Amino acid sequence: MCGIVAYVGPKDAAPILLEGLQRLEYRGYDSAGVVVSNRGLKMRKVKGRVADLAAVVPARFKGTLGIGHTRWATHGAPSDVNAHPHLSADERIAVVHNGIIENADELRAKLEADGAVFLSETDTEVLAHLIARTVEDAESLAEAVRAALKRVVGTYGVAVIDAQRPGEVVVARNGSPIVLGIGEKEMFAASDVAALVRYTRQVVHLEDGELAVLKADGFNTFSSDARETAKEPLTVDWEAGHYDTGGYEHYLLKEISEQPETVARTLRGRLDDRFHIAHLGGLNMDARESRSFRRVKIIGCGSAYYSGQIGAQLIEELARIPSDAEPASEFRYRSPVVEPDTLYVAISQSGETYDTLAAVQELKRKGGRVLGIVNTVGSAIAREVDGGVYLHAGPEVSVASTKAFTSTAVAFALLALHLGRVRDLSPADGRRVVQGLRALPGQIEEILTLEPRIKELAGKYADSPSMMFVGRVRGYPVAREGAQKLKEVSYVHAEAYPASELKHGPLALIGPEMPTVAIVPDDELLDKNLTTLGEIRARGGRVLMVGHREADPRLADDCLVVPRNEIELDPILLSIPLQLFAYHAAVALGRDVDKPRNLAKSVTVE
């Protein structure tokens, strides 16, 4: 949520900042701005995309130090004036900020009473004014920034420059990510390594409360009480090429198409054919501990939450441990009872979603044992948890999650296999699951060949004002994620219901204008699901069935047949046609597929 980039070194800053902002656009894309220092500050900022900003940055926008920002509005509508950076009145200090300053109104009133004139409606502008007031007498810019941040309540990742100290950038973190990039006689900082990997693979993650001073020849980090901290750089293995569209028209299609490979990567080195178990070294738990849990509670937001529902089902079925999933955003606010014999699992592609991070921190405060299922190595949630499973799915750029969703479900299958095999899951069932998991990448390839047919169906149904998605038990999270994908990228209203609940209310909505996508695997609930289809058709509803066999034309208008795996793993495969369906519906409707309106990928505000 909001992307920050900073540069100091021998090169021109503006092209590096703009390139970095482009990489961070998934975090917010309603306005963007840059400022460089060169005998005074030069700034350009606009409502719109980074490309709109690039168009107004003149060729002679020289300066070897600068900061940039791409915004997802919280305080004040998207506009040129509300875009970051924000300057102090004397144009000496420039600030970019990601997060929310909760006491901004109070600070603003005090500053205004003292003569300050504000130009924007943002919470961020107070920081520029606060820093400018102390910078003259402060020993360093860092000291002035620290003093200002002491007065702030809320979350931030910030980058600050001072026109009178043209050799340094100060960055600080509290709740919103800041990563430093270490170059050759140059330093970078950004909200995410995505903006850095083109220039360096050596990174340092700031912890909450830390501040860093960047100069061309190096950096220093400090704790909130100004003590210097020692940080070991980490080498990231994601490459610049991973962030390109790779010849696809959209990142979303690229990421859907990558799934045979990304699922294979999540599985790599983790399946054992001898004992039919999963090797998950990162769990940091021995067999005895793994046996000790009596419940599993899974938390995550958005698609992560829906993949958690698939996970809960897998753990309950394979390990026979009562399991459920809940939105992390709800969990953290309801003062949850935290029990020692419950295993908590937090899911996050980005590892930075604030609601999920806050839920993990609440759990840790109460002594809960928390595992993370995370894609981004070194991210805040990955660092906070007691152990976990990395997805190794590579960077996910499109705002709507696809490959991280399937890899999370696969990681849960591994966790369920592990927990099952230290309990009562038989070697024979273990073998069945291991073989099923090994078959997934090839079967995903097969599903991807259905794309032309799915495109045709998406075109057929995309002009519906609303769609219903139904599934029973294992199929229900699939239906929820299918509805979520359609809503996110095509803006077509979609409801997801357990097929069993349809007759208890939502059937009233069904008619020719509200088609249903029905998830109908060949499991023990097949007959029940077919009955539901009959009930929908009897009310004039159109049905697109996604399952394992062609349906009786009396029960479904259209049918998508996907390969069958083990019944526990089928939800993973059944999700994939729905991703393609949402993608092609969005394209047919002319939507901004990778950056849907109002959304952002990494939601680092509450």
Contact set with ligand G6P (CB under 6 A): 301-304, 348-350, 353, 356, 399-401, 599, 601-603
Rounded distance between C-alpha atoms, residue 476 and residue 502, angstroms: 12
For residues 54 and 345, which CB has a smaller minimum distance to ligand G6P in the complex? Answer: 345
- For residue 170, the cross-strand partners are 160, 213
Catalytic member of 2, 42, 45, 47: 2
Place of tokens 């701005």: 33
For residues 496 and 555, which CB has a smaller minimum distance to ligand G6P in the complex? Answer: 496
For residues 303 and 565, which CB has a smaller minimum distance to ligand G6P in the complex? Answer: 303
Rounded distance between C-alpha atoms, residue 83 and residue 122, angstroms: 9
Residue at shortest CB range from ligand G6P: 302
Burial code of 473-486, b = ≥16 C-beta within 10 A, e = fewer?
A: bbbbbbbbbbbbbb
Distances (CA, A) of 323 to 62, 267, 345, 524: 57, 23, 10, 21
Residue type, 244: D
CA angle 436, 442, 447 (to 5 degrees): 105
For residues 168 and 488, which CB has a smaller minimum distance to ligand G6P in the complex? Answer: 488
For residues 279 and 597, which CB has a smaller minimum distance to ligand G6P in the complex? Answer: 597
Beta strands in 472-551 (DSSP E): 493-498, 516-520, 543-547
CA angle 153, 154, 155 (to 5 degrees): 140
For residues 401 and 565, which CB has a smaller minimum distance to ligand G6P in the complex? Answer: 401
Structure token digits, residue 489: 């990228």
Active site residue 559: no
- Helices 570-588 and 451-461: crossing angle in degrees, nearest 10, is 60
| Whether the Cβ atoms of residue 7 and residue 66 lie closer than 8 Å to each other | yes
Active site residue 601: yes
Distances (CA, A) of 425 to 173, 313, 317: 45, 15, 9
Active-site residues, by number, are 2, 601
